Amino acid sequence: MRSIVNWLYTEHREGYRPDIKNVHFVWSVRDRDLIQALADGTELHHETNNCESYFPPRIQDVNEAGSTFFSEFYLTRGEKDVEAQLDHQLRNCLRYGSRPDVTKILRSMGEKAKQDDSTRVAVLVCGPTSLVDTVVTTSIALSKEMDVHFDVHTELFDF
């Protein structure tokens, strides 16, 4: 999913996909170490790719009203650490001790699509079966309720 959001960011930034109106990137992990590992990969990305990526270097600049790209990182077992550099860097993105509210997020995406006169929302979900099932079921229900089609792509992992 990281590579997809980076690709979308590059396509939008370079003007190849000006039609991208809204990307809401949600990542749910157990603890800060998993996000730190991704953030530590910044140098490698810049060495191997001439394009500026969205995640992780640009993520700290977003989450303002009207931003095309919006991100949330849920630390399901994490608490705020005022001394951690990562917490300061991602202060607008981190959510502590909770899981994403799938219904709220998808409803918000559907509403934004309708505001932009669109009837489709692309949803990419990667996670355990329980998360994927929740996203698919919620997307079907909201499609009927909101008259917006949620195109869901799923990838499973169980470990």
The two tokens of residue 142 are: 């909201």
- 25-42 pLDDT per residue, tens: 898 888 888 888 777 765
Quote the pTM value.
0.82
Ranges of each domain in the chain? 1-100, 102-159
Positions of the chain with pLDDT under 70: 41-62, 65, 159
* Residue 71: predicted pLDDT: 86
Averaged pLDDT score across all residues of the chain: 85
pLDDT value at position 44? 45
Long-range contacts of 51-54 (CB under 8 A, 24+ apart): 51/6, 51/10, 51/14, 52/10, 52/13, 53/6, 53/9, 53/10, 54/5, 54/6, 54/8, 54/9, 54/10
**87-103 residue pLDDT tens:** 888 888 899 999 999 99
* Predicted pLDDT of residue 46: 46
Q: What does the alpha-carbon distance between residue 130 and residue 145 come to, in Å, rounded to a whole number?
A: 22
Q: What gap in Å lies between CA 6 and CA 31, rounded to an integer?
A: 23
